[in-house]
Amino acid sequence: MLAYAARRLVLAIFTLWTVTVLSFVIIQLPPGDFVDAYMAQLSATQSNVSEQHFESLRRQYALDRPMYVQYLKWMSGVFSGDFGTSMMWRKSVLDVIGDRLAMTMVLSLGAIILTWAIALPIGIYSAVRQYSIGDYVFTFIGFVGLGVPSFLLALVLMYLGFTLFDSDIGGLFSPEYQLEPWSWGKVKDLIYHLPLPAIIIGLSGTAELIRVMRANLLDELRKPYVITARAAGMSERSLVLKYPVRVALNPFASTVGYLLPYILSGSVIVSVVLGLPTLGPLLLGSLVAQDMFLAGTIVMMLGALTVIGTFLSDLLLMWIDPRIRFGMVQ
């Protein structure tokens, strides 16, 4: 067990290191650098800035040095807790990310919980009552959910909210709390605003999860151990919940790990449309501006979340599935 954890830890560190190198290199692959993008932007607005200013900017961010020097400089900062300076915002990267990381986590967690709470019962129902009217209805809704892009749904809901209820459903806070420091009232305001974006972001995941749960459970329902339990006189409801559902849930434990980055990268457009203060729009902006320290830090954090999440889900899987715990697969 300990050896397993240690091996995983070494692998995790190696994975993270690879992620930082790759993200750093890929972000710089497009021709030019941040200063070029910045110059283009300034000349578009007809501002008059001297050539020396750009040169000093390049020197300040070490853009005139080879890529590996820039990388090493950045990494040595990272180890002392300094993730560099965002060139776009002219602020420390950590300050720019600030609350957004926490907001992203809260929103993603909300989306995941909603997804599971909706999808698992429906998936179980659809499998147990296969080909019933209810199954067909949920299947139809599920395919619509998969087919409709979530940003479109966000736009439609915003329009409806605006025209019918005269309220702005975008954002995670009411305007009066937007810039306030954290307080009990702000938390309540967040809880009030959270469900709608969470539903929109979780929609396609929900539809997919219904299909997966239904298929998993249908496989399990045909296994002989179900007949054994039935022949022992268990009622249908308790036997389905005790045995096949329990087995069908196992694969989900292994997906918990990459749900978070999956939801984040999948929800960039929705976040832009709804004006959500999450990491998604920030990542998009930093990539466009070639703000490599900001983008690199966000990608690295996503990588860390994935690695940690995967490790946790492996532990979870070991805990709930004795076949893995005892090192044997059927």
Partner 1 sequence: MQDDRQPILSVRNLKTSFFIDEGIVRAVDGASFEVHLGRTLGIVGESGCGKSVTALSILGIVPRPGRIVEGEILLRRETENGQSQEVALTSLGESSSEMRAIRGAEIALVFQEPMTSLSPVHTIGNQIIGAARLHRKLTKQEASELAVELLSLVGIPRAEGAIDAYPFQLSGGLRQRALIALALSCDPRLLIADEPTTALDVTTQAQILDLLRSLQEQNGMAIMLITHDMGVIAEMADQVVVMYLGRVVEEGPVDTVFGESKHPYTQSLLRSIPSIHSTPKVQLPTITGTIPHPYNRPAGCPFHPRCPDVIPGVCDMHEPELQTVGDEHLVSCFLYHPVPEPSSQRSEATTG
Query: Which residues form the interface with partner 1 (CB under 8 A)?
Result: 223-225, 227-236, 242-243, 246-247, 250, 320-323, 326, 328, 330
Nearer to partner 1, 314 or 321 (CB): 321
- What is the smallest separation between the CB atom of 57 and partner 1, expressed in angstroms? 60
Tell me how far, at minimum, the Cβ of 221 lies from partner 1, in Å: 9
Select 78 or 315, whichever has its Cβ closest to partner 1. 315
**Nearer to partner 1 among residue 18 and residue 228 (C-beta):** 228
Least distance between partner 1 and beta carbon 317 (Å): 11
C-beta separation of 16 from 9 below 8 A? no
Query: Given the complex with partner 1, which of 175 and 327 has the nearer CB atom?
Result: 327
User: Which of 74, 243 has the CB closer to partner 1?
Assistant: 243
Longest dimension (CA), the chain: 86
Nearest approach in angstroms of CB 251 to partner 1 is 12
What is the 3 state secondary structure string of 119-142? HHHHHHHHHHCCCCHHHHHHHHHH
Residue at token pair 């096949």: 244
CB of 124 to partner 1, least distance (A): 17
